[in-house]
């Protein structure tokens, strides 16, 4: 199941900063791109992983959708295929986000090369992609969309 293929690490980074007043009190979440590391992987290599870093601000702190709601938290669109993969944040403790203070959360998305970063048959000598990423809150508000820098896939 793809839910477990890309791991979103938000809880550990969120707890020490969740009480920090969000920079933007808008109820629409905003994300800031923090970079990727590394930017080159071997095609399908189970040992290679790309880490995408984001900073998420939400003025009313309504983050962490119920998996039964059908509304996901994070959306990653592959520039090569146009396919969008949808994921949930790990469980967010109810006392970690205060609606009156908003939330600033540091998120790391783990993209495993063995599952998602594979050369296409028509690109056997190398390939390049980027991800368009946005977040959706409990009210259904979409954040801005950020685009990662290129990720290079080698044979």
> Could you give the CA distance from residue 117 to residue 51 in angstroms, rounded to a whole number?
12
**Domains of the chain: residue spans and CATH:** 2-154 (2.60.40)
Of 51-55, 68-72, 129-133, which range is least confident?
A: 68-72
Q: How far is CA 37 from CA 49, 75, 146, in A?
A: 8, 19, 16
Q: What is the pTM of this model?
A: 0.82
- More confident of the two residues 143 and 62: 143
Distances from the Cα of 5 to the Cα of 72, 97, 133, angstroms: 15, 26, 16
pLDDT at residue 7 in the model: 52
Q: Mean pLDDT throughout 92-111?
A: 80
Please, what is the average pLDDT of the chain?
85
User: Could you identify the residue written with the tokens 């690109």?
Assistant: 123
Per-residue pLDDT at 23 exceeds 50: no
Instruction: Report, as an integer, the average pLDDT of 69-80.
Output: 94
Q: What is the pLDDT of residue 9?
A: 53
Residue 3 has pLDDT above 60, yes or no: no
């Amino acid at each position: 199941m793809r839910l477990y293929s890309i791991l979103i690490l938000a809880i550990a980074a969120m707890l020490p900063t969740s009480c920090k007043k969000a920079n933007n009190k808008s109820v629409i979440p905003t994300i800031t791109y923090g970079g990727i590391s590394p930017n080159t992987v071997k095609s399908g290599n189970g040992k290679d992983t790309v880490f995408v870093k984001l900073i998420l601000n939400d003025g009313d702190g309504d983050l962490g959708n119920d998996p039964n709601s059908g509304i996901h938290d994070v959306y990653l669109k592959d520039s090569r295929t146009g396919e969008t993969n949808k994921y949930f944040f790990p469980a967010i403790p109810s006392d970690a986000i205060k609606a009156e203070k908003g939330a600033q959360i540091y998120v790391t998305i783990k993209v495993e090369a063995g599952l998602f970063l594979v050369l296409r048959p028509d690109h056997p000598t190398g390939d390049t992609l980027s991800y368009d990423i946005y977040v959706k809150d409990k009210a259904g508000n979409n954040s801005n969309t950020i685009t990662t820098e290129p990720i290079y896939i080698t044979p």
